Every structure is written in C-alpha cells, then in structure tokens.
Amino acid sequence: MARRLEVSTKDRIRKGLPRYAGILSQALQRGISEEDTSTITQSILVDILGYDRFQDITGQFAVRGKWADWAVKSGDTLHFLVEVKSLGSKLRERDLFQVVSYSRQHNLEWAVLTTGDVWQCHRIPGGQDPEQFFEIRLLDTNQSDDEKVEYFYLLSKDGFARDAIQEQWRRAECFRPLALARILLSDEILRAVRRALRRDNPGRTIDVADVKAAITRSVIRGDLYDSLQTERPEVVSPKPNRRSKGQLGPAAGSVPPVPRASLAGRGTAAEASPTAAVDPWKTDGKAWHMKRLSEPVRVAFERLIQALGEHVTEIVWEQSYYVWLRGRGRNLRVHTSVKGKLEIGLHPATEDEATAFLRSYPGLGLTPKAQAGYKTSPFIRPPLRPTFPEQQLVTMFVHWLEGENAAAHEDG
C-alpha cells in the first residue's frame, strides 16, 4: 500500500511539472509581483505536493511579529516554512537568513526558499549553520524530470508521512565529500596508505605526516579544503609557533606580525601597547558574534588585524556583529555569511569600482559581490588557507585602507 502511494504521488508530480513550467514561463515573460508568485507557489504545494489548500497550508504565518509566506503542515505537525521571492529574482543569503530565523523559532529542521521556478530546501541543524540539501529548477531543461520528481517527493505530504526526506538525508550524509575526506585523513587510513606506499617504494622513508600532507595538499582542494579547515582545524592548521607558545603566530608564508596601531572601539580611545593589547573581539563590553563561530575564522581575523598593523587606525562596531576596520583613506567592513565564511567589504565603493581595483591583483582570483542593503560595500570571500593572509592579499588591503587607487599601483 505504501509503495503504491509513493508511485501515485510521483506520477502526480511528474504530470504537474510541464503544466507549471508553462505557467511559470508565461508569468516570467509578462513579469509578475512577489504576491502573484506566492499564489503560484501555493498552487504547486497543492497540485504537485499534495497538501490540502485549506487544512495544510497557512498564509502569512506569524513568527514573533513577522510573517512567513507559507507554513506547511499535516494535522498538527508543522513540516516547514516557505519564503517566497518574486519570479525571476535571485535568491540571496539575506532571504535564507530570513526563513531560517523564522524556522528556528519553531524548532523546524527544514526550510524552503523559492521563486516559484527555483526551489531550495535547507536543513537547519540545531545550533549550526543551515545547509542546502537540494535545489529544484522547474524551468531548467538541463535538470532531469526524474531528479525534479525525486526532490519534490521529499517535500510532498506523502514524503513527509514516510519520513523520506530524513532517510534521503542520512543516505546522502554517508557519501558527502567532507565525510569521505575525514575518513581519508583518519589515522587508520593514513597508516594503510603509508604501508602501501612503502611497499611500492622500497627503501624510501615515508611517515604518516608525509601522507597526510600529500593528501591535504594534492587531493583535498578548493571548497572542500576550506570546509575541512573550518570543521577540522587540526587537519590543515599550521604547526604552532614554538617561540610564542599559546599565542597566535603567523603561518608559514604569511606576513610577519606588525606592531599594532592605536585601535579604538565605539566610544573608546584605548591605546594599543605591549602592556595593553586591544581585544578585537570585544569593545565597550560587546562581543562580536564571530567569536562564537569556528576557530579557523577567529584565527584568520586576528591574523588579518595583526598583519595590517598601523594601517588599521580604528575598530568600530556596527550593531553587534559587523565590524569596521578604519583606514586613513578607506575602510574594510568585516562580517561572516550565513554559512560561516569570512566576508570583507570594500567601502566605500560600487561593485564596478571594486572590480576595477581587484583587477590589479589577478593572482588572488577574487571577484566582488554586491552586499545586500549596502550599495557601497561590495564584498570578497578570501579562502582561509593555513597561510592566510597571504602577502599579496595584505598588500591589496593596505592599498585599499590607505586610499590608493588601482591605476596608481598598476603603473607602479
């Protein structure tokens, strides 16, 4: 019986895909509002996912004085909230933060962000950053109908009744690149690889540290490398500086520490000196939220402050989680994304101005992105490698803080 119901639900989903692809295509051509997009979204929840329009779906669901666009439930069990953005718009981290914050008020594990065409399903583990589980693109012909059907089934009324989304998540967790990378770097696997290498290379000295370094350097790269650094800092963090045991020391290849400038928080004028160091995490009794995040991000920020030295003339808090690094000419606006990445805004500048400036540093491979709500602070996300901040990155930030333009150091 359960199997037949699953087949029936998936058949209904498959038949509904072309119908709503046509509706969305026409709506996209004529341009529709967020409110009209929300109406189409409700119809998809009913016609494709199988929820009852009157019993299972609540519009403008109240969450502490604010409202989620749709709340989806079965009986008395609330499954997920849906945040709708206008058809054709780009889903942003600000939108994700909104639906995640609403969902956490009700201890929900899943949240959906949609434009009617794009459907993103995010998992919200307790006390951790949200993780995107899957994305459906109804109008994208490159995404197969089979994949769309399987993903929509996980959000359907029957899918939640059978706990299909949890089962699929557990299955996917087994083969996540990060999980596999952790296994590759476990002591048991490293010893096994060392044995195989010594067998194939008789007479050569190979120890476990060599194997770990080779795998970390040559096999695990890119975003996976950054994720390992965030979640398993012991795998990729540099060895501590023995001359300053217990203190932050520069990684190999990074700039040496520079004497700290006079740094002040909002309303303070504390002088930095060898006997009175400024804590960049706390000003006027307010602790910055990044201190509650991962150790690698905290260390990266402290290294950046240390490397910039006297080029940072002041630290100023905005609210309790954005921090400005003031320079003599311009400023850096530092914060973290919803996913825990370090973001550094270039202020004041438009996206075009930031792009022109970064063009002088092609080796960094950085592209500015518009920052929601701040037209004059496009941001970059430098990778948090063990050598962060690299010399060229520090040089670029120094030029920015001192107010030098791109042409000045392109010609020089």
Where would I find the beta strands (DSSP E) of 124-172? 131-137
Cα(143)–Cα(198) distance, integer angstroms = 45
> What is the distance between the alpha carbons of residues 33 and 94, in angstroms, rounded to a whole number?
19
pLDDT of 331 above 70 = yes
Count of Cβ atoms closer than 10 Å to residue 392 Cβ: 13
Of the candidates 100, 97, 62, the one whose C-alpha atom is nearest the C-alpha of residue 80 is 100
Check: CATH 3.90.1570.30 for 2-174? Answer: yes
**Reported pTM:** 0.52
Q: What is the pLDDT of residue 54?
A: 93
Q: What is the pLDDT of residue 261?
A: 33
pLDDT at res. 343? 84
Q: What pLDDT score was predicted for residue 100?
A: 87
pLDDT at 70: 95
The average pLDDT across 173-191 equals 85
Return the closest-CA partner of residue 295 out of 384, 203, 220.
384
What pLDDT digit, counting tens, does each position of 60-117 carry? 888 777 888 999 999 989 999 999 999 999 998 888 888 888 888 888 999 999 999 9
Provide the pLDDT confidence category of residue 238 given band limits of 50, 70 and 90.
very low
Distance CA 88, CA 267 (A): 44
Task: Work out the number of other CB atoms within 10 angstroms of the CB of residue 404.
Answer: 16
Contact 261, 272 (CB under 8 A): yes
Q: What are the residues whose beta carbons fall under 8 Å from the beta carbon of 309, sequence distance 6 or more?
A: 257, 258, 259, 260, 261
Q: Is the pLDDT of residue 146 over 90?
A: yes
Torsion from C-alpha of 384, 386, 389, 393, nearest 10 degrees: -70
User: What pLDDT digit, counting tens, does each position of 340-388 carry?
Assistant: 678 888 888 888 888 888 888 887 888 888 755 555 678 888 888 778 8
Which amino acid makes up residue 93? E
Q: Is residue 295 classed as helix, strand or coil in its secondary structure?
A: helix
> What's the whole-number mean pLDDT along residues 388-407?
82
- The tokens for 126 are 């307790």
Burial class (CB in 10 A: 0-12, 13-18, 19+), 412: exposed
- Could you state, in order of their start, the residue ranges of all structural domains in the chain? 2-174, 178-236, 245-411
**Residue 80 bridge partners (DSSP):** 72, 110
Q: Is 13 left (phi over 0), alpha (psi -120 to 50) or beta?
A: alpha
Burial (CB < 10 A; 0-12, 13-18, 19+), residue 170, is exposed
pLDDT digits (tens, 9 = 90+) for 258-295: 233 333 333 333 333 333 345 555 544 445 555 455 66
Give the least confident one: 46-55, 220-229, 239-248.
Answer: 239-248
Beta-strand relationship, 374-380 and 369-371 = antiparallel
Question: Average per-residue pLDDT in the chain?
Answer: 78
Q: Are strands 131-137 and 282-283 parallel, antiparallel or unpaired?
A: unpaired
pLDDT band at 230 (very low <50, low <70, confident <90, very high): low
Identify the pLDDT of residue 338.
Answer: 57
Q: By CB neighbour count within 10 A (0-12 exposed, 13-18 middle, 19+ buried), where does 305 fall? A: buried
Quick: pLDDT tens for 152-174.
999 999 999 999 999 999 888 88
Radius of gyration of the chain (CA): 25
